[in-house]
Structure 1
């Protein structure tokens, strides 16, 4: 499944099943290959190659990094000169020069597939950026509250509801015009 702003090339042939993730985020769930011999399932990114080892995983490109979250099975990541396996329940943020050890996956990494954003102490600025990817209005946040840690689950298809939830739980003021401006309840943007 592809998230907003995602571009993928598909190249299945007699030797391999290959997806090229150009930008964005996708959820991959592999199945046994009916062809014999079975073809490997790979995802290439600008930061390396992923090989599915009977699995379900999300991969997202952002800035100069990529994020892999494995829900089931395992995924092998290869970058020039390095390789690492990431198991179910783990995630790994990497780039072309850095392939650290996997860490426990954050909850809700694939919640976007179900139309939700799950935040766990995520800065308000980042929450608004994520919500903004699913609608066409500009979202601005007052720098005084941009770093406010936000936790909760927010519907991606109902921006007004998500903003109301944020305003109620964090004493924020939401002003709407040509854009949406979020500030502390006592401040005007």
Structure 2
């Protein structure tokens, strides 16, 4: 697949959100100007937007389903489940349906086929038939296969916390595997987090109880040189190439499962990138303040409230044209 036919998954979704917003009755000139700024800030934004316009022209006369999805999304409240489902249908029609998607995220098409998923700011708890508890963080999707000889959870995208069940109906209990494009996680009676964000090159496992065997993609599970066991209190990044050395868990790791974000001396741009996963729209960090540090405990239920307190803790200002476009920049009192 050539570069011209590939798009970043997050940018594709943002472009569709903007496109749908501009179809609604709320499409003021202010909103149109904010969308224009989003398109101008990154060449990939403009490329995704032009792809939508071109695909829309090609499909307008042949796809009543696409038109219905646009109408449904534009008429619904931005945070409603109905709008989220309509937006996903549009993404599928305009990107997956035309044979193009994300080069660095080969499982992106699986998002539309996921057995469970969450939208921005949404958290969902599932209790599986084998007794396993699965918590999906914001913007996460999984595929489940629990009927065979192996219990399998496929992490398509995002972040999940797994508390393994005893599988009491089977003697002996079946193996449980969490699969990612980077490799598999084989829990050894445990509670752990698996994270794969926006098609990143690496995935991460954080172990809170028990231990997890990490097997990079393509490596046999008995290959001691490739496989690493990550134990309680440790975390490790891994890719298809191998597993990094385990590091201690950081303070607040896993707090998202309780609706909290805990930071200790985190760069502001990293902090805002994490917050952006929990809200719709574009959250921009001015490079002039990107290296400022943030520490604290923040409730994830209201991201705008968190943004509102930042100027009281740091020399920054928060400006917004609309709720979809927010910029964190230098304090207006600082030259």
Q: Quote the Cα distance in structure 2 between the aligned partners of 1:165 and 1:90.
A: 32
With the length of structure 1 as denominator, give the TM-score of the two structures: 0.93
**How far apart are 1:147 and its partner, in Å?**
1.9
Larger Rg: 2
Q: Quote the Cα distance in structure 2 between the aligned partners of 1:151 and 1:122.
A: 6
Match of 1:26 among 145, 160, 167: 160
| Alignment correspondent of 1:85 | 229
Map Cα deviations across residues 37-79 of structure 1 (whole Å, 9 max, x no partner): 2101110111111001110000101311001100111100011
| Alignment correspondent of 1:180 | 326
| Alignment correspondent of 2:201 | 64
With the length of structure 2 as denominator, give the TM-score of the two structures: 0.54
Q: Does 1:38 align with 2:173?
A: yes
Runs of 4+ in 1 over 2 A off after TM superposition: none
Structure 1 stretch 57-66 or stretch 13-22: which is displaced more? 13-22
**How far apart are 1:187 and its partner, in Å?**
6.6
**How far apart are 1:186 and its partner, in Å?**
3.0
More helix by share: 2
| Alignment correspondent of 2:240 | 96
Q: Quote the Cα distance in structure 2 between the aligned partners of 1:111 and 1:61.
A: 17
More strand by share: 1
Q: Could you say what secondary structure the match of 1:177 adopts?
A: strand
Q: Could you say what secondary structure the match of 2:174 adopts?
A: coil
Q: Does structure 2 retain, via aligned residues, the 8 Å contact 1:17–1:40?
A: yes
**Number of residue pairs matched by the alignment:** 188
Stretches of structure 2 that go unaligned for 5 or more consecutive residues are 1-134
